[in-house]
Amino acid sequence: MRQLTLFILVTSVMVSLYSCDANRVFEKNLALENASWDRMQVARFDVEITDTLSYYNLFVNIRNSGQYPYRNIYLFTQIKSPTGQFARDTAEFVLADPKGNWYGKGIGDLWEHQFPYKQSVMFPRSGKYIFEVEQAMRDRELKYITDIGIRVEKVAQ
């Protein structure tokens, strides 16, 4: 009886967590070795898109240590379609206010941020889209960035 109760509880939690995030198509974060991001290190994410009729929101996920010395981060982003066409952007994301208070969610010395990157995007073809993210700061080695990721979600209807 006790095992059945535990099974029902775990199943209920899993279902509620999944249903809260039903619009997510893809989300992945890559841990950066030694909390350091070299300018030549490209974070690559392969995303399979099957629904070409829906709109999508794209997000950039960043996790930093409280020792990160800047308020912001500049990134080069590139999206490559299944046909080989690509779009390249430069984006700035603000991590802290002018007084140095971190935005995002913090636990201990780590801060998580999820930034809207593009809103209501349609993918014209189904297939594998390649998302690439590079740091574009002046430092060749950007210290205290621990993770970089992306999220693709369908726009709620």
Tell me the pLDDT tens digit for each residue of 73-113. 999 999 999 999 999 999 999 999 999 999 999 999 999 99
> Over the stretch 16-57, which tens digit does the pLDDT of each residue have?
444 468 899 999 999 999 999 999 999 999 999 999 999 999
Q: What is the pTM of this model?
A: 0.84
d(CA 111, CA 105): 5
- Between strands 43-49 and 145-154, the pairing is unpaired
Say what the pLDDT of residue 2 is.
53
Say what the pLDDT of residue 16 is.
44
pLDDT exceeds cutoff 90 at 67? yes
CA atoms within 13 Å, Cβ hemisphere of 88: 4
Output the CATH code of domain 25-154. Answer: 2.60.120
pLDDT exceeds cutoff 50 at 11? no
pLDDT exceeds cutoff 60 at 6? no
Say what the pLDDT of residue 157 is.
76
d(CA 68, CA 75): 15
Across residues 112-132, what is the average pLDDT?
97
